[in-house]
Amino acid sequence: MLSILLPTDFSENSMNAIKYALEFFKYQKVQFYFMHAYRNEFYDHDDLVSRENSDAVLNDVKTKSKTNLENLLKQVNTIAPNPKYTYHSISAYNTLVEEANEITDKYSIDLIVMGTKGKSNNQHIIFGSQTFQVLKYVQCPVLAIPSNYTNTQPKSILFPTDYLIPYKKRELKLLSVLARSYRSHIHVIYISTCTKLSMRQEDNQAFIKDSLLINKVDFNIINNKKVPETITSQITENNIDMITMVNTQHSFLEDMLFPSTIDKVSLGLQIPLLAMQNTTRH
């Protein structure tokens, strides 16, 4: 059984990500945890003008959070009355990152599913601030869904890697399960001007092959030094429906997370991103 965390700010984008998850995992037994963390909403509230009225404002924000979650669960039960699903709701006076980390540890969460953007929906950024924070600081794989994206049956998944990081078995198993549900073809690519793998890279590649044994996978080395451009062209050439990358120091995904380098990445993230955090959890 999978345990999936669905953070929500009750925006259209977060609802789109929720609908995506409910459809995508319909063949799996899943415990879904709908979570709303409202500490920032309390501090940013228009009525919070002094400490004297802080309790009243906090009660208002807390009540609204719980009511919105109750309404969300009613909507979800109507959309996806799936006997394989179990639903839980969590309303917390906490920041999104802190609460997500606590829930991840407490319930051994396998995956966080959320929109790439929240309420702001700024067209000029790839990730909204909340998604950015979760990708950066929560130690759990994240499936980020672009605004209005609805294709829940990925036929082709792109997996760029430099084979330098020893992947965790739990995360590769997650990828295997996701791909197996839709018989997705996983394209593992190594982009480099050096086509010979070191012993470390060979061992890491063998581990990936072993972990994805039940999946349809191909392994290719692409002779190029322009990583972002090559990934973009691969997405187009192979009609890629989802991209998965490890999120760790000095990785391509880490480069994507910083505004200074986002401009040179023409991905624009029009497809879902599965960010594997290389977690140490068991």
Tell me if the domain spanning 156-276 has CATH number 3.50.50.60: no
Instruction: Report the predicted TM-score, pTM, of the whole model to 2 decimal places.
Output: 0.87
The answer for residues whose C-beta is within 8 angstroms of residue 260's C-beta and 6 or more apart is none
The answer for residues whose C-beta is within 8 angstroms of residue 3's C-beta and 6 or more apart is 30, 31, 33, 107, 108, 109, 110, 111
One pLDDT digit (tens) per residue for the chain, 282 residues: 899 999 999 999 899 999 999 999 999 999 999 999 998 877 777 766 678 678 888 888 999 999 999 999 999 999 999 999 999 999 999 999 999 999 999 999 999 999 986 555 455 445 667 787 888 888 899 999 988 888 899 999 999 998 988 888 888 999 999 999 999 999 999 999 888 999 999 999 999 999 999 999 999 999 998 887 888 889 989 899 999 988 765 555 666 555 443 334 435 578 999 988 755 443
Q: At 88, list the tokens.
A: 């839980």
Instruction: Judge if 2-145 and 156-276 fold alike in CATH terms.
Output: yes
Find the radius of gyration of the CA atoms of the chain.
20
CATH for 2-145, options being 1.10.1370.20, 3.40.50.720, 3.40.720.10, 3.40.50.620: 3.40.50.620
Each domain of the chain, given as residue ranges in start order, spans 2-145, 156-276
